[in-house]
Amino acid sequence: MRRLDGKVAVITGGASGIGEATVRLFADEGCRVVVADVLDERGRRLVDGIGKSAVYVQTDVSKEAQVRAAIEHAVEHFGRLDCIFNNAGLPGVTGPIEKISVKGYDRTMAILLRGVFLGMKHAAPIMKRQGSGSIVSTASVAGLQAGYGPHVYSAAKAAVIQLTRSVAMELGESGVRVNCICPGAIATPIFGRGLGLAESAIEESVKRLQPIFETRQPIKRAGMPEDIAQAALWLASEDSRFVTGHALVVDGGLTGGRMWSVVQEQAAIMRAFLTHDT
């Protein structure tokens, strides 16, 4: 039996990157999926390739009516809602704090935090009536430690982690689990889109990121969208039925501390310095 047989999920940002990998994995595991995104061409092409178990709904997660509509479509089309993966994202506004515009701040928070809040808000009553469900959101290691993302992005992801914990304490009493995933350095199209690259250049940008990312953590390869999809699958499935309010770090050891090789190199430098004149 497949791990999501009979289940229905809404995946925001589902047309590319982590979302696309998760859509494909969930479908392979027997789930019926609503792909919610603003990338219409990619989204429709994705669901066409999957078949009748997937549908596409244009969804800007910053707009409440569109998030509500995507969730309602899942119930109307497939009969229920077992999981929502609040995954839609963007790098957001960047730069030193004194240069950040209020418009950029508002847009970043609208996608990264309001979008998660709206997904939780409109999934909750459906799942509470069912007495079951799994809400999963994409946070980030940038929400756990400073220096892994721009200021506003990092603040939004920290808020997602705390919102996850808080809502988990409410919905757990109704049989609904609420968790989030904190990816590390994952090679996805989000970086190319954040730089304003054309769609034709984005896939190449992902390939160029991989050798950079593979040096950043003890596990010597770049994180890939499929790594996060596997974490989302676990949290959506009954395998994690006793897990709620959790921020699952999937980062290849990035936030674990200084790598052993770096520690040894620095120790050798220190020994050489201290014994130079003896």
Active site residues: 153
| CA dihedral for 84, 90, 91, 93, sign (positive or negative) | negative
Q: Which of 248, 66, 29 is nearest to 160 (CA)?
A: 248
The token pair that represents 68 in the structure block? 């509500």
Distance CA 70, CA 80 (A): 12
At 64, the amino acid letter reads: E
Distance CA 224, CA 227 (A): 5
Distance CA 4, CA 239 (A): 10
Distance CA 113, CA 140 (A): 12
Check: CB of residue 178 under 8 Å from CB of residue 167: yes
Distance CA 211, CA 40 (A): 30
Running DSSP on this structure, what letter comes out for residue 2? -
The token pair that represents 13 in the structure block? 């940002």
For residue 218, report the phi and psi dihedrals to the nearest 5 degrees: -55, -40
Helix and strand counts by DSSP (H, E) for the chain = 10, 7
